[in-house]
Amino acid sequence: MTKQITILGSTGSIGVQTLDVARMHHIRVWALTANRRIDLLEQQAREFQPELVAVLDKECAKRLRIALSDTTIQVLDGEEGILAAARYEKADTVVNAIVGVAGLKPTLEAIHAGKNIALANKETLVAAGKIVKAAVREAGVQLYPVDSEHSAIFQCLQGCPDNALKKLILTASGGAFFGKKRKDLMNVTVKEALQHPNWSMGSKITVDSATMMNKGLEVIEASWLFDVSDEQIDVLIHRESIIHSMIELKDHAVMAQLGVPDMRIPIQYALTYPQRLSSPVKELDLSVIATLTFSRPDTETFECLPICRQALRKGGLFPAVANAANEAAVQLFLEEKISFLEIPEIVGNTVARWNGHRDILYPEEILAADQEVRSAISR
């Protein structure tokens, strides 16, 4: 492998699994970043010998600088440090595994520096799909999906003629509270919400799976990645997470991508496309799985999914506003300051009350709306 990469958010769930793939295929890693988890970042830096590491928190960066003083690795801090990693000259591809809209500026920085993007950070596309797509076109770079559903669709689309697609079928595990009704969700705890049936992920996306906001964000992400409207995206509950998503073609042929639930498959494909290399991931044995089940999502109980669809149809800043409200609400839920059902309530009310409908031209407009929404929700 001759790939040269930078990983933004290397200490998170996707970041660590990306380093697994890099280790296996001898992919050169030039820069790594984190927010505060410097012990793990130090360990990663010592193993992968990047030339640059960046830590958002300045105090943590100072401590890491001391810890790495016996090496030649440069340690930068703050937002400027993260942006320097995003544009670091020796990498050709930037894996964005930062959580939340904090990933937007680094994504744009990397695109403007001519890097291909392997994008796990779905909030970037949700909040600023139009701007990111335009920047990708202008810079002539590639945007590879890492999110498993979008990678599945991307894989199914290989060899498919341009005008053959009828619709996308995004599969959803249903999250920790599948089958529950609103009355069952009144008193659920943070610990219960963090118990995902099939995937081990960062806490924000695990809560998003429990509320099904994650699927709503993924509908918006898919609309930008594959240039399709809300009506062309179906969501299907599939508890086993074996079919990662499907496409239906005009002749009603349906293509699906299957595999054990392990993010290293989509991460690796984003880094090795169009090649297929060996993988440490377990083989899928369908005779053991035996049954694959499907059902419609319960949108009355899990309101975040229809709220996201509504935001997508309204366009402009609405998806960014829905995302900001969700990020703020999930944070409050994780801090045990609000209940689980207040998450959809806050997201729904924020979208319903937002009246700034207009086209967006600049990322600053998105980040300003994001800040406005967050400060209105903070407590």
Orientation angle between helical segments 318-334 and 363-377, nearest 10 degrees = 40
Judged by CB under 6 A, which of 19, 56, 308, 366 binds ligand NDP? 56
Helix (H, G, I), strand (E, B) or coil at 366: helix
CA atoms within 13 A on the CB side of 21: 29
Judged by CB under 6 A, which of 98, 118, 207, 377 binds ligand NDP? 98
For the chain, the C-alpha Rg in angstroms (whole number) is: 20
245 binds, among Mg ion, ligand NDP, none (CB under 5 to 8 A by kind): none
Least distance (Å) from ligand NDP to the CB of residue 9?
Answer: 3
Residue 58's Cβ-count burial label (10 Å; 0-12, 13-18, 19+) is exposed
Helix (H, G, I), strand (E, B) or coil at 30: strand
Q: Is 15 in the site for ligand NDP (CB under 6 A)?
A: yes
Least distance (Å) from ligand NDP to the CB of residue 187?
Answer: 26
Contact code string over 263-282 relative to ligand NDP, x by CB under 6 A? x-------------------
d(CA 78, CA 58): 6
Judged by CB under 6 A, which of 24, 62, 167, 199 binds ligand NDP? 199
Q: Is 312 in the site for ligand NDP (CB under 6 A)?
A: no
d(CA 167, CA 63): 50
Least distance (Å) from Mg ion to the CB of residue 242?
Answer: 14
From the list 195, 198, 200, 175, the residue with the least C-alpha distance to 304 is: 175
C-alpha distance from residue 331 to each of 46, 51, 127, 197, 372 (Å): 32, 33, 18, 22, 16
From the list 245, 268, 266, the residue with the least C-alpha distance to 257 is: 245
Name which of 3 and 244 has its Cβ closer to ligand NDP: 244
Site for ligand NDP in 16-55 (CB under 6 A): 34-37
Q: Is 123 in the site for Mg ion (CB under 5 A)?
A: no
Q: Is 147 in the site for Mg ion (CB under 5 A)?
A: yes
Q: Is 122 in the site for ligand NDP (CB under 6 A)?
A: yes
- Give the binding site for ligand NDP (CB under 6 A): 9-15, 34-37, 56, 82, 97-99, 102, 120-123, 147, 199, 201-202, 204-205, 263
Residues that bind Mg ion (CB under 5 A): 147-149
